[in-house]
Amino acid sequence: MNITIVGTGYVGLVSGTCFAETGITVTCVDVDQTKIDNLNKGIIPIYEPGLEPMVKRNMEKGRLFFSNSLKDSISDADAVFIAVGTPPDEDGSADLQYVIGVAREIGQYIDHYLVVVTKSTVPIGTAEKVKAALKNELTSRNVDIQFDVASNPEFLKEGAAIDDFLKPDRVVIGTESERAQAVMTKLYKPFLMNNHPVIFMDIPSAEMTKYAANSMLATKISFMNDIANLCEIVGADVNNVRRGIGSDSRIGNKFIYPGTGYGGSCFPKDVQALIKTAEQKGHPLEILKSVELVNNRQKSVLYKKMMAHFDGDLKGKKIALWGLSFKPNTDDMREAPSLVIINKLLSEGAEVIAYDPVAAKECHRKIGDTISYAKDQYEALIDADALLIVTEWSEFRVPNFKVMEKLMKEKLIFDGRNIYDLDEMKDLNYTYYSIGREV
Ligand code: UGA
């Protein structure tokens, strides 16, 4: 089999590489020539554990190609996947100009039956728009070439993307013809043979499934954040509550960890887009509006605790911040809670010195030298009035507390991810604030 993936962003690059890993011949196409040149040299534009060697291996095996020519790449393809960006419009709805642009281009060059698959997260009804754009091009070319559209949303998590792709909980595919279903079945045969569920359905349901999944996960997180804040007030420990409810299999023990709010390129954007779609259709999603509100509030929780501790005066305080990326194992800073916290600290006149295992460069690109960057986690602590933990990188979990107390001015930690044990903090005589637990 032979496929083309348009867009070498996160979803496109990971999907293309993983499809190649299953033995399919894949050409990844992008309009960004520098990106394509770099990829052809084996230089990967994103940080994703395990991706680089997999890209190189599949290039060497002659199964993975990078090109800037959509025309050449689709000439012998069975399917073409659209995996370009859908950034939020000013009003929160997804901007489809790139997706539709690719559909038009496919329409200009298509010369045999193809399945055109949307892989980017797109609003319900997008496959219909893709079909219309493609048909328009065929009409203006005055040719009658058969094609089908399909929806195959992606459920990858950054930092675990390769495993998520190759060992999925499920694959969702929306089709509207048996011919397209046959092509998609062939493409996903290795997954079917390994007993990973491949769920076929109609196209609108597949498109909706993606938004419903991310919105449900975001809802779990905001719910737990809200409960955690209440736990503090009533004297409960959210860790106990989490274990207590998570062992009910109907609730499940995943995605119920309170923290500094969800970030990244997916949850905030998808929640906003679904709120928007629902409003446009005259069926406002009240629950989801609250999920977003609670999340925005949660990003300030650590800052508020800090303000309360320092009696509202952070001027001149030196704050060490561990973890900049929106979650561990990625350098992604999009919608990262750290940015909100940093902004608030700086506006109060505090000084921030941050450490992140991989995201410092990306953070610097976003906010420049408004903060300083330490070369390791201990350097950030020198003369610090407090330590703020925003992202739960593994290396922060078992630090040397004895070394830390020698470096810091005060033994004071604000932990947005509940990574330390309350009793241990007491024994070590640290003042320790966390989320949803006693001080
Ligand atoms: C998310 C989904 O998990 C993927 O299934 C989906 O494919 C992807 O969006 C997407 O739409 O492309 P991702 O954004 O990479 O993946 O990150 P997650 O691991 O889901 O974390 C999202 C945010 O939730 C992070 O800020 C994380 O810190 C937060 N989170 C997660 C919590 O605060 N508590 C939890 O218990 C879990």
Rg (CA), the chain: 24
Check whether 194 has a pLDDT greater than 90. Answer: no
Judge contact between 34 and 28, C-beta under 8 A.
Answer: no
Nearest-CA residue for ligand 1 atom 11 is 266
- Residue 129 annotated in ligand binding: no
Which residue among the candidates 28, 231, 266, 363 is catalytic per the annotation?
Answer: 266
CATH code given to domain 2-201:
3.40.50.720
Domain 211-297 has CATH 1.10.1040.10: yes
- Residue 210 annotated in ligand binding: yes
Nearest-CA residue for ligand 1 atom 1 is 157
Nearest-CA residue for ligand 1 atom 6 is 155
For the CA of 265, the nearest atom of ligand 1: 14
Q: Which of 214, 260, 271, 324 to mutate to test the pocket of ligand 1 (most atoms within 8 A of CB)?
A: 214
Segments making up each domain of the chain, as ranges: 2-201, 211-297, 299-433
Cα of 267 from ligand 1 centre, angstroms:
7
Cα of 82 from ligand 1 centre, angstroms:
22
**In the structure, what pLDDT confidence band is assigned to residue 192 with cuts at 50, 70 and 90?**
confident
Output the CA angle 243-330-328, nearest 5 degrees. 25
Q: For residue range 104-140, what is the model confidence (pLDDT) as tens digits?
A: 999 999 999 999 999 999 999 999 999 999 999 999 9
2-201 and 299-433 in the same fold? yes
Q: For residue range 78-89, what is the model confidence (pLDDT) as tens digits?
A: 999 999 999 888
Q: Measuring CA to CA, which residue among 53, 7, 4 is closest to residue 26? A: 4
Q: For residue range 304-354, what is the model confidence (pLDDT) as tens digits?
A: 999 999 999 999 999 999 999 999 999 999 999 999 999 999 999 999 999
Our answer to whether residue 266 is catalytic in this structure is: yes
- Residue 156 annotated in ligand binding: yes
- Residue 158 annotated in ligand binding: yes
pTM of the predicted protein model: 0.94
Cα of 329 from ligand 1 centre, angstroms:
12
CATH code given to domain 299-433:
3.40.50.720
Q: Which of 48, 51, 119, 157 to mutate to test the pocket of ligand 1 (most atoms within 8 A of CB)?
A: 157
* Alpha-carbon gap, residue 240 to 242, rounded angstroms: 5
Check whether 279 has a pLDDT greater than 90. Answer: yes
Determine the length of the chain. Answer: 439
**In the structure, what pLDDT confidence band is assigned to residue 433 with cuts at 50, 70 and 90?**
very high
Q: Residues near ligand 1 with C-beta < 6 Å?
A: 121, 154-158, 214, 217, 221, 255-257, 259, 262-264, 266-267, 326-327
> In 223-268, at which residue ranges do the beta strands (DSSP E only) sit?
none
Distance (Å) of CA 224 to CA 237, 264, 287, 436: 12, 18, 14, 9
369 burial type by CB count under 10 A (0-12 exposed, 13-18 middle, 19+ buried): exposed
pLDDT at 355: 98
**In the structure, what pLDDT confidence band is assigned to residue 90 with cuts at 50, 70 and 90?**
confident
* DSSP of 336-395: -HHHHHHHHHHHTT-EEEEE-TTTHHHHHHHHGGGSEE-SSTTGGGTT-SEEEE-S--GG
Q: What is the predicted ipTM?
A: 0.96
